Amino acid sequence: MKNFLLRPLILTPIIVGVVLVLSGLSLLSGQENEIYKPELLPDGQPNIQGIYISPAYLSLERWTDEEREEWGEKMIAVRGPNPGAYGTEWTEGNLREGSGRGEGYAVVDPPNGRVPWQPWALAKKTYIRDNPYDRKSFIDSRVRCLPAGTPRGTFSSSYNGWQVLQTPGHVIILYEHNHLYRVIPIDGSPHPGKDIQLWMGDSRGRWEGNTLVVDVKNLTDKTWVIGELGGEGMSAGSFHSPALHVVERFTIVDADTIDYEATIEDPNVFTQPWKIAFRVWQRAPPEYVLFEYACHEGNRSMDLTPLVSNTP
């Protein structure tokens, strides 16, 4: 009888101890599996130098089939039907899908997967999207060989790569597209005054473990926040004001992979901050180099596109 009562008293601490040790071990081994330890540069920065290309493509926003249908009809009226010039993939139906059809959507917050526009801004954005050839300024800056802006310059592209360089106190991103670049100080220095407006914005960074956090301000109002790369698409026309503030998070997943997240706010056009997230970079094959991009040389888009008016 005594033994029966005593047994739990003796066994319980042993069982609890074993469970604790085991769970501690599994936690440790789990951490080893989950958190990649990158090589550190002499100044302590995780080394993310190298050339990267896009690993995957996502639709940008979560549209309904009805909305896609409606937009497709409008575009046919604007510039004629797209008969699938490259085969079945290059058809109205697929253009309506946005910039690709990977799993999920780039807009992860709000949960409905849609940019939270203020009503007046949604009306303006939709007008630009549905009348893209009305005037030059309605055409995507990328198509006009102008800078893509931030965060849009970092969107997936199957024809451009990026090169990351690091010096003590800086991270430098070279964009194959249009020879763009960003020199990102990580020394805690502040942004310039708000009257300074730059196509790619002013970037100030810091490392939080494996994540490069970049605060971007001082942007113009001449670029789109998001939008399909061809300039047509359901998220096209996503303008912003110079008050745009973007906080990017480049997170090292493993030796070859970088995830991207950007929180976007602009109190002049959006009702709340919102967020995009996607796997942004995968290390390029060793033979890959950034190709010269004298954009106007091979770009005849503006000559070949009949515009409705000559309004700039």
Partner 1 sequence: MNIKQAAFLVAFTVTVLMTVGTLSVNAHHAFTAEFDGTKPVQLSGVVTRMDWVNPHSWIYIDVPQADGSVVKWEIEAGAPNAMFRRGWNKNSIPVGTEIVVEGYRAKNGKNIANGRNVTFPDGRKMFVGSSGTGAPVDGADPTER
11 or 302: CB nearest partner 1: 302
132 or 149: CB nearest partner 1: 132
61 or 266: CB nearest partner 1: 61
From the list 70, 97, 134, 215, which residue makes contact with partner 1 (rule: CB under 8 A)?
A: 97
Query: Minimum distance between the CB of residue 232 and partner 1, rounded to whole angstroms?
Result: 4
From the list 36, 117, 207, 293, which residue makes contact with partner 1 (rule: CB under 8 A)?
A: 293
The alpha helices in the chain, defined as continuous H runs, are: 2-34, 65-79, 92-95, 119-130, 295-298, 301-304
The contact mask relative to partner 1 for 202-231 (x = CB under 8 A, - = no) is --------------------------xxxx
188 or 306: CB nearest partner 1: 306
The SS3 of residue 145 is coil
Distance of alpha carbon 143 from alpha carbon 231, whole angstroms: 7
Q: Does the footprint of partner 1 cover residue 146 (CB under 8 A)?
A: no
H or E stretch at 258: strand 257-265
Helix axes 65-79, 119-130, angle to 10 degrees: 50
Q: Does the footprint of partner 1 cover residue 291 (CB under 8 A)?
A: yes
The contact mask relative to partner 1 for 109-128 (x = CB under 8 A, - = no) is --------------------
How many residues contact partner 1, by CB under 8 A? Answer: 58
Q: Does the footprint of partner 1 cover residue 286 (CB under 8 A)?
A: no
161-188: b (≥16 Cβ within 10 Å) or e: bbbbebeeebbebbbbbbebebebebee
Q: Does the footprint of partner 1 cover residue 7 (CB under 8 A)?
A: no
Q: Does the footprint of partner 1 cover residue 292 (CB under 8 A)?
A: yes
DSSP code, position 32 = H
Q: Does the footprint of partner 1 cover residue 159 (CB under 8 A)?
A: yes
267 CA to centre of own chain: 20
Cβ atoms of 166 and 186 within 8 Å: the answer is no
Query: Minimum distance between the CB of residue 125 and partner 1, rounded to whole angstroms?
Result: 17
Query: Minimum distance between the CB of residue 86 and partner 1, rounded to whole angstroms?
Result: 3
156 or 220: CB nearest partner 1: 156
95 or 258: CB nearest partner 1: 95
Task: Pick out residues in 36-95 that bind partner 1 (CB under 8 A).
Answer: 54, 56-57, 75, 79-90, 94-95
Q: Give the interface with partner 1 as residue ranges (CB under 8 A).
A: 54, 56-57, 75, 79-90, 94-95, 97-102, 132-133, 140, 142-143, 145, 156-161, 176, 228-233, 288, 291-295, 297-301, 303-306
